[in-house]
Chains A and B, each alone.
Chain A
């Protein structure tokens, strides 16, 4: 069963536009929500992350908005550039002591973003 649902599956945006990718989760035990960016032929790389005690986090053109009551979070890419074209994954980590085995990341299905010049 998919614990983190991501939408849309694909997104096409014009250069300079805003890209918005949404994720929803069910497990209230999740305690950390990262976004990963993956370029073709490469491994995913951490882009930005947020903890549930914060409603928004911004790093450059990338912003995460977090709504704990709705169990939703989203990635906003401002002034989208062709170089942002990649697959984006939201993820959520189940909580637990750092030494325990159960803590892991659960990934969303991914969003293929294309930014047209």
Chain B
């Protein structure tokens, strides 16, 4: 059983389109995260939810909107995609906010053309 799963694994789309990435964790964790990994492999936190409540919202364009329907799921919707949005997006979860042991999903490679 995959602990943290993401769909899709690859996403290729054109500028201006809207796309969503879905994440699910079966670890029973309370906290979930979205990270962006750029071409230089730098990992930067974007959002975090704890029990469906948004607790971290980094300086991210408001074209990015996360949504957590329940504590096992965290989705990321991106409007009006731009070239600079191309990156690998990782979902992660931890038992509690800031839990050092975070479990990462396999990532979604987003390419905007």
Contacts and interface: CB of A to CB of B under 8 A. Distances in A.
B66 interface: no
Contact of A46 (B43, B55, B101): B101
A101 interface: yes
Contacts of B97: 98-101, 103-104
B104 A107 contact: no
Interface residues of A, number: 28
A84 interface: no
Contacts of A89: 43
B74 interface: no
Given A46-B102, A109-B42, A99 B107 contact: no
Given A49-B101, A105-B102, A43 B92 contact: yes
B50 interface: yes
Given A98-B96, A104-B56, A107-B42, A43 B48 contact: no
B16 interface: no
Interface in A86-100: 87, 89, 91, 93-94, 96, 98-100
Interface string B1-45: 000100000000000000000000000000000000000111111
Chain B interface size, under 10 / 10 to 19 / 20 to 34 / 35 or more: 20 to 34
Which of A93, A101, A102: most chain B Cβ within 10 A? A101
Contact of B107 (A43, A45, A93, A98): A43
Contact of A110 (B4, B42, B56, B96): B42
A52 interface: no
Contacts of B69: none
Given A43-B105, A110-B43, A96 B100 contact: no
Interface of B: 4, 40-45, 48, 50, 55-56, 90, 92, 96-107
